[in-house]
Structure 1
Amino acid sequence: MSNLFKIVSVNHTPVIIESIVFPEQGPENDSEPEPKLEPEFDYAAAREEMELCINEAKIEAQRIVAAAEEKAQHLMDETQIQAEAIKQQAYKESYDLGKQEGYENGNLEAREEMKQAIHTAAEKAQKIISTAEQEAVNMITDAERKIIDMAVAIARKIVARELEENPTAILPIVKEALNKVRDQESVTVRVNPEDFEMVLMAKGDLQMMMGNEQAVSIVSDQTVAAGGCVVDTAFGTVDARLDTKFEMIHKAIQDVSP
C-alpha cells in the first residue's frame, strides 16, 4: 500500500515520498477464529465498472473517428465528381466556341478551379478528421480520469477498512513520520481522538526510537482525520494525514497519465 509523506518547512524542505507498512496481524487467540467484516464495498463490481467505462469510451472514440473518416471520404468523392463536371463544362464551352484559344483558356481556368476545389475539400476533410480525433482523445481522457477517481476512492475504502479492523495500524504511520525528524530536540505528534489512546500507549516505544534526550508529546487533534498524523517541530511539519497522501497519490497518477 502506498504512502506519501509531505514535508512542509520554513526552509522549503522537499517533499518526501515513503511507504506505509501495516503490521501483520496474527490471531490473538488460537481458539477464536479471526473476525470477518461484512463486505461494505463490492470491489469486483467496481473493477468491472471501471473496465466497462474505459471500453465504452474506446468503442465510442473509434466510432467517432470512423464516422469522421467516412464523412471526409464522402466529401472528397463529391469534390472529385464536381471537379470532373467542371472539366467537362469547360471542354463543352470551348468546343462550342470552336476556337483553340478559347479551349486553352477554358481548360486553364477549369484546371485552376478544379485544383482550388480539391484543395479546399482536402482541408475540410482534414479538419473533420482532426476534430474527431481530438474528440476521441478527450473522451478517453475523461474516462481515464473517472477511473483514477474510482481507484483512489477504492483505495480510501481499503485503508479505512484496514484501520477499522486493525487500530494499531496508526503506529507505523506515526513512526515513519517521526523517523523524518529524529534530529529534532522536541516533537509534537497530533492525532485524531480515536487514535490518541493507541498512540499514547506506544509513547514509550516512540520515545525510545527518537532518543531519550528528545521530547515527544502526543496531542489529540480533531482536525487530523483518523488513521493519519501531523508531526510538528521547531523547523517544520511532517504532514502524514491520509487525505494529504491520497491527494498526492491522485495528483501523481494524473501527472503520469497520457
Structure 2
Amino acid sequence: MSKKFISNLFHQGGSQESIFEATWPALSPGKDHLSSLPGLKEAETKMLKEAREKAFLIEKEAYEKGFEQGEKDGRELGQKRQEVVIQQMRNVLLEIERQRKDFRQVYENEVLTLLLGIGKRIFRQEVLVCEGLITTVLQEALQYVTDRGRVIVRLHPGDYQNLLAHPGQIPFSLDEKDGIKMVEDPSITRGGCLLETSFGDVDATFEGQFDEIVSQIRQQMKGAERDPGR
C-alpha cells in the first residue's frame, strides 16, 4: 500500500491550503459566448429553417382550401404559425442551454489542465535550483514511516550524490544497523523520493505530490459545482 503526502513546500507558508485556487468565470448566454459554442450556429439555422418550412406548409394548405371558412381559418392560421414559431424558439433556447453546459465543462477542464501544466513547469524549475529541497522532503516523508527497521530511500542520482557530499543534510543516520539505506534511482525526479518500508511505500516523488494537489483541486471544483453559492 502506498502513502501519499504533499510537502509543506507545495503550500503557502506551510499551511494546508493548496497554492492553486481555481476560480472560474460564470458563463452567461450573451452574444460573445453563444457565438463560440460548438455546433450552436448550425443547430439554430436548422431549427429556424424547419420553422419557416412548417409555417409555409400551413399557409399553403389553408390557401389551397380557399379559406372556405373565411375569417375563422385566418385566425387559426395565424395561431398555428405563432405556435410553430414559439415551439421552435423554445427548442433553440433548450439547445443553447445544453450547449452552454457542455461548453462550460470543456472550458473548465482545459483551463485547469493549462494552469496545472504551467504550475508543474514552475515547480520543476524550483526543484532544479534548490539542492536543499530533498532534505526537507525526506524529513517530512519519514514522519509517515511507522517502522524504521527496514527502509530503502530511492533518490535521483543528483540528490543522492549531493547528500553524500554533504552528510550534514541527511536527516537520518546512514549506519546500517539503523535500518535506513539510500539508493540511486534514475526514475525518481530530482527533489522527490520514494520510501520502501515493510508496511508499504511512502510516495514523496515530485509526480506523486503534484498528482495529490491535482486531486484536491478537482475535489474542490466538484464541491463548488454542488454548492455554487459557497
Q: TM-score if structure 2 supplies the norm length? A: 0.63
1:188-227 matches, within 5 Å, as: 188-200=152-164, 201-202=167-168, 205-207=171-173, 214-227=178-191
Cα separation, 2, equivalents of 1:137 and 1:84: 35
Which residue of 1 is the match for residue 80 of structure 2? 114
Residue correspondences, number: 199
Task: Confirm whether residue 176 of structure 1 aligns to residue 140 of structure 2.
Answer: yes
Instruction: State the identity as a percent.
Output: 18
How far did 1:148 drift? 1.7
- Matched residues in 1 for 2:46 and 2:74: separation? 28
Contact between 1:199 and 1:218, CA under 8 Å: does it hold in 2? no
Distance 1:145 1:188, change over 3 A: same
Asked which structure has the greater CA Rg, the reply is 1
Q: How does 1:91-130 map to 2 (within 5 A)?
A: 92-95=67-70, 110=76, 114=80, 118=83, 121-130=85-94
Following the alignment from structure 1 to structure 2, what is the Cα–Cα distance between the partners of residues 139 and 231? 42
Higher relative CO (Cα under 8 Å, sequence separation at least 6) belongs to 2
* Equivalent residues of 1:189, 1:232 under 8 A apart: yes
Aligned partner of 2:195 in structure 1 is 231
Deviation at 1:162, TM superposition (A): 1.6
> Equivalent residue for 1:148?
112
Gaps in structure 2 of 5+ consecutive residues: 11-25, 226-230
* 82-91 vs 147-156, which moves further: 82-91
Runs of 5+ in structure 1 lacking a partner?
Answer: 1-7, 10-14, 23-53, 97-102
Q: Distance in 2 between matches of 1:158 and 1:179?
A: 27
| Partner Cα distance (1:88, 1:127) in 2 | 26
Matches of 1:243 and 1:72 in 2, distance apart?
48
The TM-score, its normalising length taken from structure 1, stands at 0.57
Name the Cα RMSD after superposition: 4.6
Cα distance in 2 for partners of 1:241, 1:150 equals 22
